[in-house]
Amino acid sequence: MSIPIELNEKDCEFKAIVLDRVPTANLDMCLTCGTCTGGCPASEQMGMDPRKLVRMVLFGLDEEIKKHDWAWVCTMCARCFWECPMNIDIPKLVYNIRSSWPRDSRPKGILGSCDNHIRAGNAMGVPTDDFIWTVEDVAEEIRESSPEFADMQVTVDRKGAYMAINQNSREPVTEPDELGPLWKILHIVGADWTYPSVMWAGENYCLFLADDQGWKYILEEFVYHIDNNLGCKMVVNTE
């Protein structure tokens, strides 16, 4: 027979930590209405949903929360937050749960993609020279096969371009032909744009890994390159 949990003996330490980091999280305002769960794509995965998660935090079930894998199933889409009548910030709660895990214990796929981005500037770990070669090769193929795009300009690190555009790093590696449609649209509308060579990938797995330092490093390197080396006025994130 299982032993009942004595809630009055539980200290809500994790709740206090989250509220210290996110004062507007509004965890105590939960009405248990289930709106968050109704719209959650990860609801009932692993026997968990957003409403259950919030209740566990409020009941001080800290160790059970920290050991549960559901935090890594959450897509961080924030639908629960935007629909919640009490504005409970469940995505930031999930983020803090993820950050409570030892870094080496976090999912290997996300961890590897984060480390690749820090090291190589993209989640796939593609060398910058390979990215530039792929872009130039695909662009040349389009110019040769489609006369209407014979003067299409596709550049990397062109100083003074109005827009810097980043790119999902999977496409140059696995689906390079998928690069062309966006370029054609930009060409038709006369957009003045370029790819940056530094942190050129649009995705940032360090965000999903809850690696604050890695996330910060990637963004700082990207922004510095745009502002100080290229001088672009606008950044367009394709992700």
Residue type, 37: T
CB 66, CB 101: distance < 8 Å: yes
Q: d(Cα 178, Cα 208) in Å, to the nearest integer?
A: 25
Decide: helix, strand or coil at residue 236. Answer: strand
pLDDT at position 53 is: 92
Q: Check residue 26 and give its pLDDT.
A: 85
In whole angstroms, give the CA distance from residue 235 to residue 179.
18
pLDDT of residue 180: 97
φ and ψ at residue 204, rounded to 5 degrees: -140, 90
Q: What is the pLDDT of residue 54?
A: 92
> Which has the closest alpha carbon to 218: 111, 118, 99?
118
Q: What is the pLDDT of residue 2?
A: 53
Pairing of β 234-236 and β 193-194: unpaired
Query: Whole-angstrom Cα distance, residue 88 to residue 200?
Result: 34
pLDDT digits (tens), the chain, 239 positions = 555 555 455 567 888 888 888 888 888 899 999 999 998 999 999 999 999 999 998 988 988 988 899 999 999 899 999 999 999 999 999 999 999 999 999 999 999 999 999 999 999 999 999 999 999 999 999 999 999 999 999 999 999 999 999 999 999 999 999 999 999 999 999 999 999 999 999 999 999 999 999 999 999 999 999 999 999 999 999 87
CA–centroid distance for 146 within its chain: 35
- The pTM (predicted TM-score) of the whole model is 0.83
pLDDT of residue 6: 53
